[in-house]
Amino acid sequence: MTMAKDMSRRRFVNSAISSAAISCMPMKGLFAGYAESVRTADPLRQQTGSVLTDSAAWKDQGIENLAKSPYSRLHNVPVRAVTIGSGFWGRRRDTNVTKSIPSMHDLLESNGRMINFRRLADKSKGDQRGPVFSDSDIYKWTEAVGFALQSGDRPEMRSMAEKFIDDVVAVQEPSGYLNTYYVDDRVSQRMLTQTQTTGHELYNIGHMLQGAIAYYRGTGDRKMLDAGIRFVNNFLLPDYGPAPKKPIVSGHPEIEMGLIELYRMTGDKRQLDLAAYILQGDDRLQLPKPRTIYMFSGTPFTSRTKLEGHAVRAMYACCGATDYYMETGDPAYWKTLSTLWNDMTGNKMYVTGGVGSRAAGEAFGDAYELPNYRAYGESCAAIGNMMWNWRMLAATGDAKFTDVIERALYNGINSGMSLDGTLYCYRNPLAFDPSNGDKIRNSWYDTTCCPPNLERTFASLPGYFYSTSGDGIYLHLYDNSELDWRLENGTALKVTQKTNYPWDGSAEIAVVPAQVSHFTFYLRIPGWSERTQVSVNGKAFTGTKPGEYLPIQRRWSPGDVIRLQMEMTPQMIQANPRLVDDTGRVAIQRGPLVYCLEELDQPNGVALTDVAVDLDQKAGAVFHSELRSDLLGGVHVLRHMGAVYDKTSSSDALYFRYKREPVKTRRVPLTFIPYYAWANRQATPMQVWTPVLKSSALNT
């Protein structure tokens, strides 16, 4: 399909951001100068590298510690600062900590992921098990525990993790090297170009660093973190990097994020520089082009012009590059990041926020290559998408990134874990037919990247609700919750949300500063909410714009209340006509939730392949929302009087002469459920994009 000829004019759903805003540099913001003034250059710390600049402040650090990042406009609040109450994400969070994380612990054990470490300690327990990236499964699980513990101590979970960490650290070699695959006969393969490109050596360590940092921020326990620092400072930094050191390459990007977050804690600029070197690639390796495309690394990040290759690799590379941008403000990075973001949201993202449409190579397809049945849409890629947009949001404060975060989180990520928290999707297709024998949810995959990735994401969720900026606070996500934190000027601030979001569009937000205080409360107006009512203490606000943060700048006093009413009318979404798989079809969305049809919810004998959304009804296509507390853990379904063929299309010819007369149909009540909840009952066909019965537009 044709590449966009005019990308700068592209915009994502409902985004009202002007085109100029997409490609321009983000404002450095008030905080930039502040950050630069705070950043101290301690020569001793720079040399030793293992000193943590903020070791006392581990409790104050969020998903990312951007407090001193000069080109970050927004700054994370600690995960522990937000308590999610009962509601949509509260339930997921509970399931995650009570079911998913503990059951994954047992699966990691039973599938040998920890035996890989222990056998190196006691030299007795059999062979290495699992693929080359098996160590990362442990690290991602540890990260999930680390985030979970940031929301409150869980001694049993903590002791599980401590045992893992002890066993991991016990087998770190004196050099700092740590990997359970490149041992025994494979020692000679360590750090070879071939091993680096396919062996996930640095990928494992990247996850180790992320896991160690999250665990440290959850507990103050720096045992694994120190092991990670030893790998970086003792093993990597002395010998690997630009000439005359030995070249390295990020076979699966991940280490970049790990190194930069480590740098944010240690202040050791060598760690940032190593990430920069990796993002630049090293000509000395002379990697074949198909490999550098697939890896999304090995060539200068700033030479990239489109998203291609392995989707998770590409997303993680973009995360690392955005982290690098926030530390350096390098305009070439921002230009590339903007180009890639426009390419993704304008050409290559599913309406669920999933990315990476091709099963072959788990890769990005060409522009508009977004098949539904054959969609890959790996859970990890949607998570990578969210992580990347979280960083882009931090850099800019632009709500268009939050729209993507929300889209991915509620749909293409949330679909990845079963409602009971024990089964996982690797693929997240937008249409499905179980008759092909495909089992979509499983408790274990030998390449088990997605399950712990989902767990760490859900465990970190409180950290995504708010950010601070030099001039105030940003509210990103709506759900029952309490923020207990402070403004950047030090004023303590509580914010309490009461809402039934995403089922209901109203929210009551109590803003309680410790003392009367002048600051801006940036209230996110979702891009899908075309008409949004906002009031403060009963006084209506005008001029809310979808897809922007509404800056409410005033003197805030305890007792102030923001009331918000978002538009929850179910919407029919159509796709760009170049997206040929969706021609003549609509997706249904209500609030942040994309809906789908499952055949078992439709009247008996009605095949999904024979139904259509009926646009011809006098009142227009109507979708009624209905609470079904008994269904799928409690969801709002959408009811619609659609149409179904009089006789099943399976009896029709494959091709026939075009008929001017409408095919005979009869009315049929259709029931749509939220996409995230699909495949939680018996196997049944599913589809997100449904044909429309009557259309008058070229592209339908």
Kindly identify the residues of this chain, within the stretch 510-569, that bind a second copy according to CB under 8 A: 530
DSSP 654: S
* Contacting residue, 288, 290, 331, 620, with a second copy by CB under 8 A: 620
Q: How far is CA 195 from CA 28, 132, 138, 492, in A?
A: 40, 10, 20, 50
- 685: contact with a second copy by CB under 8 A: yes
- 656: contact with a second copy by CB under 8 A: yes
* Contacting residue, 41, 289, 653, 682, with a second copy by CB under 8 A: 653
Q: Which stretch binds a second copy (CB under 8 A): 81-89, 120-128, 274-282, 688-696?
A: 688-696
- 697: contact with a second copy by CB under 8 A: yes
* Contacting residue, 4, 25, 285, 632, with a second copy by CB under 8 A: 4
DSSP 176: S
| Strand segments (E) across 321-480 | 424-425, 431-432, 441-442, 466-469, 472-475
* Contacting residue, 309, 356, 591, 691, with a second copy by CB under 8 A: 691
The amino acid that residue 653 corresponds to is A
Least distance in angstroms from the C-beta of 404 to a second copy = 11
Q: How far is CA 116 from CA 51, 107, 109, 258, in A?
A: 30, 14, 10, 23
Site for a second copy in 361-380 (CB under 8 A): 366, 368-369, 371-374
* Contacting residue, 40, 124, 651, 682, with a second copy by CB under 8 A: 651
404, exposed or middle or buried, with CB in 10 Å at 0-12, 13-18, 19+?
Answer: buried
* Contacting residue, 20, 41, 661, 682, with a second copy by CB under 8 A: 661
Beta carbon nearer to a second copy, 584 or 634: 584
Closest-CA residue to 522 (of 544, 553, 493, 487): 553
- 684: contact with a second copy by CB under 8 A: no
* Contacting residue, 18, 194, 604, 650, with a second copy by CB under 8 A: 650
Site for a second copy in 43-102 (CB under 8 A): none
* Contacting residue, 473, 586, 597, 637, with a second copy by CB under 8 A: 586
Beta carbon nearer to a second copy, 18 or 436: 436
| DSSP-derived pairing of the beta strands 560-565 and 585-590 | unpaired
Closest-CA residue to 466 (of 481, 446, 449): 481
* Contacting residue, 580, 603, 624, 626, with a second copy by CB under 8 A: 580
Beta carbon nearer to a second copy, 451 or 642: 642
Q: Which stretch binds a second copy (CB under 8 A): 13-21, 310-318, 386-394, 448-456?
A: 13-21
- 9: contact with a second copy by CB under 8 A: yes
Q: How far is CA 254 from CA 135, 189, 202, in A?
A: 14, 21, 8
What residues contact 463, with CB distance under 8 A and at least 6 apart?
62, 63, 76, 77, 78, 79, 82, 147, 150
Backbone angles phi, psi at 229, to 5 degrees: -65, -40
* Contacting residue, 571, 592, 640, 683, with a second copy by CB under 8 A: 571
Least distance in angstroms from the C-beta of 382 to a second copy = 16
Could you give the 3-state DSSP secondary structure of residue 362? helix
Residues binding a second copy: number (CB under 8 A): 83
CB atoms within 10 A of CB 167: 17
Q: Which stretch binds a second copy (CB under 8 A): 102-110, 153-161, 359-367, 463-471?
A: 359-367
Q: Which residue has the tokens 């005008």?
A: 542
Site for a second copy in 413-452 (CB under 8 A): 431, 433, 435-436
CB atoms within 10 A of CB 537: 12
| DSSP-derived pairing of the beta strands 548-556 and 611-612 | unpaired
Site for a second copy in 183-202 (CB under 8 A): none
Q: Using an 8 Å Cβ cutoff, are 46 and 268 in contact?
A: yes
* Contacting residue, 40, 286, 657, 682, with a second copy by CB under 8 A: 657
What residues contact 254, with CB distance under 8 A and at least 6 apart?
136, 202, 203, 206, 207, 210, 316, 320
- 20: contact with a second copy by CB under 8 A: no
Beta bridge partners of 626: 637
What residues contact 618, with CB distance under 8 A and at least 6 apart?
none
Least distance in angstroms from the C-beta of 371 to a second copy = 7
* Contacting residue, 578, 622, 631, 641, with a second copy by CB under 8 A: 578
Beta carbon nearer to a second copy, 353 or 462: 353
Give all strands of the β-sheet with 506-513 in edge-to-edge order: 82-84, 481-486, 492-499, 506-513, 560-565, 533-536, 539-541
- 665: contact with a second copy by CB under 8 A: yes
Beta carbon nearer to a second copy, 630 or 661: 661
Least distance in angstroms from the C-beta of 693 to a second copy = 5
Buried b (16+ CB within 10 A) or exposed e, 540-549: ebeebebbbb
Q: Helices 155-170 and 115-122: crossing angle, nearest 10°? A: 50
Closest-CA residue to 254 (of 335, 200, 215): 200
Q: Which stretch binds a second copy (CB under 8 A): 144-152, 160-168, 211-219, 577-585?
A: 577-585
Beta carbon nearer to a second copy, 366 or 504: 366
- 658: contact with a second copy by CB under 8 A: yes
Binding mask 339-358 for a second copy (x = CB under 8 A): ------xxx-x-x-------
Q: Using an 8 Å Cβ cutoff, are 142 and 212 in contact?
A: yes
Q: Using an 8 Å Cβ cutoff, are 353 and 593 in contact?
A: no
Least distance in angstroms from the C-beta of 273 to a second copy = 36
Beta carbon nearer to a second copy, 127 or 661: 661
Beta carbon nearer to a second copy, 90 or 685: 685
Least distance in angstroms from the C-beta of 394 to a second copy = 24
* Contacting residue, 405, 475, 493, 693, with a second copy by CB under 8 A: 693
Tell which phi-psi region holds residue 182, choosing left (phi > 0), alpha (psi between -120 and 50) or beta.
beta
Beta carbon nearer to a second copy, 117 or 376: 376
- 1: contact with a second copy by CB under 8 A: yes
- 505: contact with a second copy by CB under 8 A: no
Beta carbon nearer to a second copy, 489 or 649: 649
- 14: contact with a second copy by CB under 8 A: yes
- 331: contact with a second copy by CB under 8 A: no
Beta carbon nearer to a second copy, 258 or 570: 570
DSSP 13: T
* Contacting residue, 314, 399, 610, 670, with a second copy by CB under 8 A: 610
Site for a second copy in 628-647 (CB under 8 A): 643, 645
For every residue of 439-508, which 3-state class applies, written as one string? Answer: CCEECCCCCCCHHHHHHHHHHHHHHHCEEEECCEEEECCCCCEEEEEECCCCCEEEEEEEECCCCCCEEE
Q: Which stretch binds a second copy (CB under 8 A): 147-155, 248-256, 323-331, 570-578?
A: 570-578
- 585: contact with a second copy by CB under 8 A: yes
26 alpha-carbon distance from chain centroid: 21
Least distance in angstroms from the C-beta of 342 to a second copy = 10
Q: Helices 134-150 and 115-122: crossing angle, nearest 10°? A: 110
